[in-house]
Amino acid sequence: MALLVQKFGGSSVANVERIAQVAAKIQRFHRAGDQLVVVVSAMSGETNRLLDLAKQISSTPSPRELDVMVSTGEQVTIALLVMALEKAGVPAVSFTGWQVPIRTDSAHGKARVLDIDGAHVRQQLDAGKVVVVAGFQGIDPDNSITTLGRGGSDTTAVALAAVLKADECQIYTDVDGVYTTDPRVVANARRLDRITFEEMLEMASLGSKILQIRSVEFAGKYNVPLRVLHSFQDGPGTLISLEQENSMEQPIISGIAFTRDESKLTIRGVPDTPGVAFKILGPISAANIEVDVIVQNVAEDNTTDLTFTVARLDYEKAMDILRKTAEQIGARDIAGTTSIAKVSIVGVGMRSHAGVASRMFEALAKENINIQMISTSEIKVSVVIDEKYTELAVRALHSEFGLDVPTVAHA
Mean pLDDT for each 10-residue chunk of the chain (411 residues)? 94 96 96 97 94 93 95 97 97 97 95 95 97 97 94 93 96 91 91 92 81 86 93 92 60 90 94 91 94 88 92 95 95 95 93 89 97 93 96 96 70 41
- Beta-ladder partners of 197: none
Is residue 96 one of the residues assigned to a domain?
yes
Q: Are residues 290 and 169 in the same domain?
A: no
Tell me, what DSSP letter sits at residue 108? T
Identify whether the C-beta of residue 80 lies closer than 8 Å to the C-beta of residue 59.
no
Residue ending a domain, among 106, 141, 174, is 174
Among residues 49, 108, 63, 100, the alpha carbon closest in space to that of 78 is found at 100
35 and 160 both lie in a single domain:
yes
Residues 157 and 274 reside in one and the same domain: no
The domain tally of the chain equals 2
Query: Is residue 169 located within the same domain as residue 279?
Result: no
Write out the E strands in 235-280: 238-241, 255-271
Tell me: do 157 and 268 sit in the same domain: no
160 shares its domain with 285: no
Question: Which of 121, 127, 147 lies closest to 41 in space, CA to CA?
Answer: 147
C-alpha distance from residue 121 to each of 127, 164, 169, 353, 407 (Å): 10, 9, 16, 46, 49
Contact yes or no for 216/224 (Cβ under 8 A): no
| Closest listed residue to residue 290, CA positions, set 322, 314, 266 | 314
For residue 284, being part of any structural domain is answered with yes
CA distance 251 to 237: 19
CB half-sphere exposure, 286, CA atoms < 13 A? 9
Provide the pLDDT for residue 351: 82
Residues 168 and 274 in one domain: no
Residue 213 lies in a domain: no
Whether 239 maps to a domain, the answer reads no
Give a yes or no: residue 365 inside a domain: yes
pLDDT at res. 322:
97
Q: What is the dihedral sign for C-alpha 231, 156, 170, 240?
A: positive
Q: Give residue 317's domain range.
A: 256-400
207 close to 394: Cβ distance less than 8 angstroms: no
Residue 322 located in a structural domain: yes
What's the CATH code of the domain at 113?
A: 3.40.1160.10
Query: 152 with 269, same domain?
Result: no
Closest CA to 157 of 266, 37, 242, 302: 37
pTM summary value: 0.83
Which residue, of 174, 194, 211, is where some domain finishes?
174
Q: Are residues 168 and 32 in the same domain?
A: yes
Q: Does residue 303 sit in the same domain as residue 154?
A: no
Percentages helix, strand, coil for the chain, rounded to the nearest 5? 40, 30, 35
What is the per-residue pLDDT for 120? 95
- The CA-CA-CA angle for residues 191, 236, 171, to 5°, reads 85
Q: Give residue 185's pLDDT.
A: 92
Answer yes or no: do 33 and 163 share one domain: yes
End-to-end, the C-alpha distance of the chain in Å comes to 48
Domain membership of residue 408 (yes or no) is: no
What is the structure's pLDDT at 246? 52
pLDDT of residue 407: 54
Of 148, 174, 200, the one marking the end of a domain is: 174
Q: Is residue 69 assigned to a domain?
A: yes
CATH number at residue 308: 3.30.2130.10
Query: Cβ neighbours of residue 380 under 8 Å, at least 6 residues apart?
Result: 202, 206, 344, 345, 346, 347, 350
